[in-house]
Chains A and B, each alone.
Chain A
Amino acid sequence: MAFTLAYLCVVVLIPLGALIARAARLGVSGVFAVAIDSRVLAALRVTFGVSLAAAAIDVVFGVLIAWVLTRYRFPGRRIFDALVDLPFALPTAVAGIALATLYAPNGVFGEQLEKLGLRVAFTPWGILVALIFVGLPFVVRTVQPVIEELDAEWEEASATLGAYRWRTLRRVLAPQIAPAVLTGMALAFARGVGEYGSVIFIAGNIAYVSEIAPLLIIVKLEEYDYDGATAIAAIMLAVSFVMLFVINATQSWSRRRLGHV
């Protein structure tokens, strides 16, 4: 117990405390002064906007994939199921250079998309692709256990009462998995906001266009602008805490409503 607390303090709490103390010295006005700089503002907008879009896309495909992997039986299911965890195990830098190579103008996907008039690499679209990649397992792995535990009786009752399958899915099943979907989306969004390694290779990192907030922290550090770096980090940390709170709140809400997580 004492070891647990001491280790937690040394490895996690004291370092985070240093950041919070430094940000506190800047004060709200100091953080705000950094945040309204147009380059910082543009980076924050790209980071949060693209993370949200990626989380939304992850929800659509993540729920579908979770459903297919849990409910249907088909050859290769186990392999695909294991593949979903890939972004947890594959280092972000490796994913980054692989995605950048795929979507570069001369890459396998990039060349085809270029013909359609869509340039992915070195634009915000590239950031979107990378964030869809890193966020997907959060949605699938949060929703999957809930689908596994769904009680078939509800669906059968709904069908017996004359509802078409689509209506059953929408009115009976969707509300039951909604809290898990929200949690998964929040996790994917939080991961996307902080993501660095898989993004920087494909993003091109053009200031005001495809520069993400974590990269700007590194830029500020290289300029020895520790206050600037701290201010951006403080904003991101504040968002992380809000997300953590939202995740905990949706989970306790679903526990109250459904009697399980």
Chain B
Amino acid sequence: MSDAALSRRAATRAADETPLAKAIAIGISMAFLAVFFLAPLVVVVVEASGKGLTGYIDAIGEPDARAAILLTLTVAAFVVPLNAAFGLAAAWAIAKFQFAGKNLLVTLIDLPFSVSPVVSGLVFVLLFGAQGWFGGWLAAHHVKVLFAVPGIVLATLFVTFPFVARELIPLMQAQGTVEEEAALTLGASGLKTFLTVTLPNAKWALLTGVLLANARAMGEFGAVSVVSGHIRGLTNTIPLQVEILYNEYSIAAAFALASLLALLALVTLVVKLAVERRGAG
């Protein structure tokens, strides 16, 4: 074998891909992301601006749209703090204490992730519907849960349940209990230890979890669609109003409202990226 052939063979046996293979791999994967992920975002922007700036402002200022925005904000205002409090309590219990059934608890917390949004809505219909467990009692006391705001809040609580706990559990487990023990030994109370040691250590993961839970709470569609009853101006959240407008062929108005949620998604991703960079640096 000639020297040139030998060195060529040695080159192909390097522990790395050839520059050509790298370029092809990068090209294919970025093209895939552009087609499947970037294109839908571009479409939202293009379609939302289909009727110009005034059309955009009109679409968002329209009474039913305003009611939908207000309802979405209200639901998130209930859901996110509740689930953040739960996520903190659950992660704290799981990471800092030993008890039987811990693995089962972690699996149960993740459960809503593996349930279809539509099924998540259905369970509340079965509980609070006319033939449901509490349906008769609620009707007798004139309390409306289904097809009203409480039902939407409950369904959203269910689907966003795991987000905060999921972000916090691995982090708090990795951090262990050494710092807490030091604080307790130095005479700090349990509450003071939690507020000055546990919470600051976990604040960035908490922020990421809250952001993801919030994005999902404001954007939830399937579960809310089942329990809301689709009453315009009353029980339509932004995603449900988007659906109605789209099905009525008010495409520009649908995308205008949708663009608010797309913007929220982008902000969520950017902040998440910033938090991760902070963690890496």
Chain A positions within 8 Å of B, measured between CB atoms, are 1, 3-4, 7-8, 11-16, 18-19, 22, 61, 64-65, 67-69, 72, 74, 76, 78, 80, 82-99, 101-102, 108-109, 129, 132-133, 136, 152, 155-156, 158-159, 162-165, 168, 190, 193-197, 201, 214-215, 217-218, 221, 226, 229-230, 233, 236-237, 240-241, 243-244, 248
Contacts and interface: CB of A to CB of B under 8 A. Distances in A.
Contacts of A214: 116-119, 222
Given A18-B123, A72-B22, A91-B220, A4 B29 contact: no
A61 B37 contact: no
Nearest to B219: A91
Interface string B33-47: 101111111011001
B215 A15 contact: no
Contacts of A240: 114-116
- Residue from the set B15, B220, B268 with the largest chain A CB neighbour count within 10 Å: B15
B231 interface: no
- From DSSP, what is the main secondary structure of chain B's interface residues? helix
Contacts of B258: 91, 93-94, 97-98
B38 A83 contact: yes
Contacts of A195: 116
23 contacts: A4-B86, A11-B161, A12-B112, A15-B158, A19-B122, A19-B126, A74-B26, A78-B273, A82-B269, A82-B273, A86-B37, A91-B238, A94-B261, A98-B44, A109-B39, A156-B15, A165-B18, A194-B114, A194-B117, A197-B222, A214-B118, A214-B119, A244-B111
B221 to A, nearest CB: 4
B242 A97 contact: yes
Contacts of A85: 269, 272
Nearest to A90: B265
Contact of B239 (A14, A67, A94, A248): A94
Contact of A86 (B21, B90, B122, B269): B269
Top 4 nearest A-B pairs (CB, nearest first) are A91-B219, A194-B116, A98-B40, A197-B221
Contacts of A61: 28-29, 32
Interface residues of B, number: 89
A203 to B, nearest CB: 14
B1 interface: no
B80 interface: no
A215 B238 CA distance: 20
Nearest to A155: B15
Contacts of A244: 107, 110-111, 114
Contacts of A22: 126
A8 B109 contact: yes
Given A12-B158, A194-B116, A196-B116, A89 B215 contact: yes
A97 B119 contact: no
B97 interface: yes
Interface string B255-278: 100100110111011101100000
A15 B124 contact: yes
B155 to A, nearest CB: 9
A101 B39 CA distance: 11
A82 B270 contact: yes
Nearest to B134: A18
Contacts of A233: 116, 118-119, 122-123
B118 A194 contact: yes
Nearest to A129: B36
Interface string B154-182: 10011001000000000000000000000
A90 B261 contact: yes
B261 A91 contact: yes
A229 B122 contact: yes
A156 to B, nearest CB: 5
A81 B21 CA distance: 20
Interface in B1-51: 12-18, 21-22, 25-26, 28-30, 32-33, 35-41, 43-44, 47
B178 to A, nearest CB: 21
